[in-house]
Structure 1
């Protein structure tokens, strides 16, 4: 592993940390900056997505994706009902491969509710990443694979 690859891996790890801090602080601009211009996250595996679709939220597409800077920013900065404040943790982050300005990564995530400390949901992020023209690594495609989601009903 050469110095350039080590630097890329550290930048990608920093991106994963930026993502969780941006979500938890409801910083839409910081969150959108985690993604490429046309980047997206796919949350369709979450059981609550049907409820979110019914709410006709402006940031959620019918296929369960949140796509592009405007939707991504709105999704975390108050563009819908925020029933609980959350605390995201990522672990076992794995930069699977780097090929020039493209990379593949994955991480486990656990999200805790701040109101009672219970696990709200957990799963796996599966990512395609890109190094952008400004040299920063960003998420081009994120699949949020939900393995558990707590029922608040």
Structure 2
């Protein structure tokens, strides 16, 4: 069973992921993943740090005015690994409507004391 501290670390991971993406910091976004981490999105799977940075740069170019809003987190696991499911809404900051909505599934693990994403997956 996860401790309250573990749950907060996973929630913080989700926030760091969103803030890095929304501030167009591809390097910081890739830092939220394990060394062999991956993202599975509608356009395919990107695995490993270089591929994650490239994916993030593409998102920033294609959707420069969105903000990620994650809610309804369900976190399960033990002290060393966990899975988080959440709702994701991408909102335009330019006054237009919601861009995208999906579920996000993210197994995570502890690396050097930090909670890191292992394989994020968008479920549209």
Q: Tell me the TM-score normalised to structure 2 length.
A: 0.89
Dislocated runs of 4+, deviation >3 Å: 77-81
* Residue 74 to residue 100, structure 1, CA distance change in 2 (3 Å): same
Give a deviation string over 1:70-101, Cα, whole Å, max 9, x none. Answer: 11122223588435421110001111x22231
| Residue aligning to 1:119 | 98
Q: Does 1:67 align with 2:47?
A: yes
What is the root-mean-square deviation in Å for CA atoms of aligned residues? 1.9
In 2: Cα distance, 1:102 partner to 1:83 partner: 31
**CA radius of gyration, larger in:** 1
Show the counterpart of 1:17.
Answer: 15
**TM-score by structure 1 length?**
0.73
Look up the match of 2:78: 99
Matched-pair contact (CA < 8 Å) for 1:84–1:114? no
Unaligned runs of 5+ in 1: 50-63, 147-153
CA contact (8 A) 1:26 1:78 kept: no
Query: 2:31 aligned to 23, 30, 33, which one?
Result: 33
Contact preservation (8 Å) 1:84, 1:115: no
Greater strand proportion:
2
Displacement of 1:135: 0.6
Aligned equivalent of 1:90, options 48, 62, 70:
70
One of 76, 79, 88 as aligned partner of 2:56:
76
